[in-house]
Amino acid sequence: MHTGVRKVTAQTAEQLSEKIRGTLDRPIVLIGMMGAGKSKLGRMLAKVLDIPFYDSDVEIEQSAGCSVSEIFEKLGEPAFRAAEARVFARLVGQGVAVIASGGGAVMTPSVADLVFNQTLALWVRAELDVMVDRNSRHDNRPLLKGKDARQVLTDLMAVRYPVYSRAHMTVESQEGPATDTLYQAISAIADHLDSVGVSR
Ligand code: S3P
């Protein structure tokens, strides 16, 4: 697993992107906690690689015709997780794309099977303080509603990090320019494709 710590310039990132475009044969799925920055990074990555972008929460909302919060409220978390698993089965079957997952998606065994065996999983990591701060600016996350976000995130990290650590690649979501994180992600993906190239 690569953590992508070397400095990557815009020019190198473009060269690596070209290489990724020529090699990629499956979706890239961004996994990680709420507020780690999966959706923003995913959108940027898809644009650079010139492939489709999907956000699993948005896909669920579109098929349900209501928001994630409303699904949790009216139908409960198990119904949301079932819808999430259906969305993943469909999106992963569609081939090359970037998919930003909801933070709890890979905690469902059927989703974990798909993501870790049939896609390239990129774990987007951020410091707890950064995630607490980002989540404080939105109230669209039912698991945090009316709760101490720092405590909930800390508890979830303990359960989820062992599963997230199955990812093929990791990137640190920086506080600085978003392109820094993007370039690190591109570098980590290119490194990974290089390392598996011989066996495919
Ligand atoms: C959840 C994360 C959310 C959304 C839902 C549940 C979770 O997505 O799927 O509120 O269990 O961590 P983001 O990770 O995009 O916030």
Instruction: Please give the pLDDT value at position 176.
Output: 85
Tens digit of pLDDT for each residue in 64-95?
Answer: 999 999 999 999 999 999 999 999 999 999 99
CA–centroid distance, 54 to ligand 1, in Å, is 14
What is the rounded average pLDDT of the residues 118-138?
95
CA–centroid distance, 166 to ligand 1, in Å, is 19
pTM: 0.94
In this predicted structure, the answer to whether residue 198 has a pLDDT above a threshold of 60 is: no
Distance, CA of 135 to CA of 193 (rounded, Å): 33
CA–centroid distance, 140 to ligand 1, in Å, is 9
Distance, CA of 51 to CA of 155 (rounded, Å): 35
Whether 141 lines ligand 1, by a CB cut-off of 6 Å, is: yes
Tens digit of pLDDT for each residue in 182-194?
Answer: 999 999 999 999 9
Most informative mutation of 31, 34, 86, 139 for ligand 1 (most atoms within 8 A of CB) = 34
Q: What is the mean pLDDT of the chain?
A: 94
Report residue 175's pLDDT band, with 50, 70 and 90 as the boundaries: confident
- Alpha carbon 193 to its chain's center: 18
Whether 103 lines ligand 1, by a CB cut-off of 6 Å, is: yes
Contact 181, 47 (CB under 8 A): no
In this predicted structure, the answer to whether residue 4 has a pLDDT above a threshold of 80 is: no
In this predicted structure, the answer to whether residue 97 has a pLDDT above a threshold of 50 is: yes
